[in-house]
Amino acid sequence: MKAIVVTKPGDPAVLQWQDVPDPQPGPEDVLIEIVAAGVNRADLLQRQGSYDPPPGSPPYLGLECSGRIVSVGESVTGWSVGDSVCALISGGGYAERVAAPGGQVLPVPEGLDLAAAAALPEAACTVWSNVFMLAGLREGETLLVHGGSSGIGTFAIQLATAFGAKVAVTSSSTAKLERCRQLGAEITINYRDEDFVARIKEATGGRGSDVILDIMGASYLARNIDALAPAGRLANIGMQGGRRAELDLGALMGKRAAILSTSLRTRPAAEKATIVGSVRKHVWPFIADGRIKPVVDRVLPIIDAAQAHRVIEAGQHFGKIVLAVRD
Give the binding site for ligand NAP (CB under 6 A).
40-42, 122, 126, 146-147, 149-153, 170-172, 176, 191, 215-216, 237-238, 240, 262-264, 312, 315
- CA dist., res. 233 & res. 265, Å (int): 22
Least Å from the CB of residue 268 to ligand NAP: 14
Instruction: Using the minimum distance from each CB to ligand NAP, give the nearer residue, 19 or 193.
Output: 193
- CA dist., res. 135 & res. 56, Å (int): 30
Distances (CA, A) of 285 to 85, 86, 121, 159: 16, 15, 14, 11
Least Å from the CB of residue 73 to ligand NAP: 26
The distance from CA 208 to its chain's CA centroid, rounded to whole angstroms, is 25
Least Å from the CB of residue 238 to ligand NAP: 3
Least Å from the CB of residue 72 to ligand NAP: 28
Instruction: Using the minimum distance from each CB to ligand NAP, give the nearer residue, 264 or 276.
Output: 264
Least Å from the CB of residue 244 to ligand NAP: 16
Length in residues, the chain: 327
Least Å from the CB of residue 21 to ligand NAP: 28
Query: Which helix H or strand E contains 146, and what residues bound it?
Result: strand 142-146
With beta carbons less than 8 A apart as the criterion, state whether 208 and 257 touch: no
Instruction: Using the minimum distance from each CB to ligand NAP, give the nearer residue, 25 or 148.
Output: 148
Instruction: Using the minimum distance from each CB to ligand NAP, give the nearer residue, 285 or 315.
Output: 315
- CA dist., res. 237 & res. 317, Å (int): 20
Instruction: Using the minimum distance from each CB to ligand NAP, give the nearer residue, 31 or 132.
Output: 132
Instruction: Using the minimum distance from each CB to ligand NAP, give the nearer residue, 23 or 151.
Output: 151
Distances (CA, A) of 9 to 54, 210, 315: 17, 40, 21
Looking at the DSSP bridge assignments, the partners of residue 171 are: 190
Backbone φ and ψ for 318, nearest 5 degrees, come out as -130, 115
